[in-house]
Every structure is written in structure tokens, then in C-alpha cells.
Copies of this chain bind each other. A is one copy, B any other.
Amino acid sequence: LKEENNMPGNSFGNLYQITSFGESHGAGVGVVIDGCPAGIEISLEDIQVELDRRRPGQSVVTTDRDEPDQVEILSGISEGITLGSPIAMLIRNKDQRSQDYGNLAKVYRPSHADFTYEQKYGRRAVAGGGRSSARETVARIMAGAIARKILIQNGIEIVASVKQIHEITAELDVDSFTRDNVEANIVRCADPVAAEKMIELVKRMKQDGNSVGGVITVVARNVPVGLGEPVYDRLEAELAKAMLSINATKGFELVAVLAELV
């Protein structure tokens, strides 16, 4: 088989193409966006607000590591306006508590990519997972913050809520729930009753030194008819790929496409 020990796999997208780089405990994590239109207003704040939503250590239900990620724009934006050239953004790593991981040099963490990376590359980053760390998602958040701004300008709204944690399932009205509903609690579930129970569950699991899985519902509103390309690049195929490429995500389901014919 002509699979090599390394081939490109760190880019995503055709027209708005992102390339992600960086390890959890190197100099930093970043992203290059190629294909972003010129003339879009983007402030540091637009990106920072999304990074702050992701920040570990912000509440009792997340990991304790504190990562106050500060974005620097390296290229592609001048005086708050996109130039049409590649937009590179960088977040320096700070909380590099490598000593915390010292005992991992001799074991593979269960359900992590430690073993796979070592087999594939002949080496692995003992500290923090290196490239396999979920910290890579900051690259997606930076690129997503700009994409989100462009989408909103075109009338498209995307909201996501936790739908389920372990066996607690939220009631979500997909037509009406808002980002404000989601931001109203620390598990980010638009159903406040379920949210209470989820928070209790996560706290209890954490006390036991355990973690727990869940399901997220994403709703995209005002999507134009015919978005995506048949056959291999149809919209649900691209979405499935994007979702499954996130660390620890194991399933994707297209629940419904609702079109109102007026």
C-alpha cells in the first residue's frame, strides 16, 4: 500500500481553505486562511470573543488547565480589513506544564492517539499530546470566527447547543433557540432545565475522576438551496468530514433539511 509515514492532511476546504499548524507544547498553534474575500471588516475582538468561549478553565465543568489564548494576526488583514491575501493567525502557548506529563513517557493514555502517533511517526510528544491535542481546535475557532462573520453578513445563522450528556437529553426547538439561550449556562445547553441536570452530572463525574460523552445539535438557518456539490462533495458529506475530524468526535447524523416553500 502506498500510504507513507506522512502526507498532507492539515488543510480543509476548497474556496475558503484553512491550513492548521502547531503542537500543544511547542511555540504555539495557528492557522492560515486562503481564499477569504478582500474587503471584509475583521477586528481582533471578533476572533478573541470566540477563543474566550473555548478557553479551558473558565468553569467547573471543563478541564482545569487555564489557557488565556491571545490571538496575533500575522498577515492578510490591514487596518481591520481583509486584503485578499492569506490570513495567518497565531496563538502562543503559555501553560506548558510539561512536568505534569512526565509519568506518561512510559504509558499510552487510553483513548488518546499516543500509540497511533508513535507507530506512525516513530516518535510522539509525551507532553500534552503534541499535534494530537484538542488544543488544535483553536485553529478552527480562529478560522471559524472569520467565516462566521462572512456568513452573518449573508444572512446565514449557525447555532449549536449541547443536546445530550450521557443519558440526559435536552428539549430543543430547532427553529427558535438562540446563542443567548446557549450562553446562559456553563454547559451551553439551550434547554435550561436539562442544563441544570447536566451540570450536576458532570460535577459528579469529575469528582469520581471520570468523564462523560454527549451529543451536540447544530442548526444552520437561511442556507441557500443547492449549497454543496454532488456527488462526493455534497453538503452532508463535507459536514460529516468536518465534524469527524474534531478530536474525540465519533458520530454524525443529518437529522433534517427543512425547506419552506413560499
Query: Could you tell me which A residues sit within 8 Å of B by CB distance?
Result: 1-12, 14-15, 17, 19-23, 26-30, 32, 34-39, 72-76, 78, 81, 83-88, 90, 113, 115-117, 119-123, 125, 130-132, 136, 150-151, 154, 224-234, 236-245, 250-255, 259
Contacts and interface: CB of A to CB of B under 8 A. Distances in A.
B26 A78 contact: yes
A11 B19 contact: yes
Nearest to A88: B21
A234 B245 contact: yes
B84 A23 contact: no
A20 B86 contact: yes
B15 A7 contact: yes
B250 A244 contact: no
Contacts of A150: 1
Contacts of A37: 2, 4-6
A10 B230 contact: yes
A136 B27 CA distance: 23
22 contacts: A7-B14, A8-B34, A10-B34, A10-B85, A11-B17, A20-B231, A21-B75, A21-B88, A22-B85, A23-B76, A23-B78, A28-B74, A29-B75, A30-B74, A38-B120, A38-B121, A78-B125, A85-B131, A119-B226, A131-B231, A132-B230, A240-B243
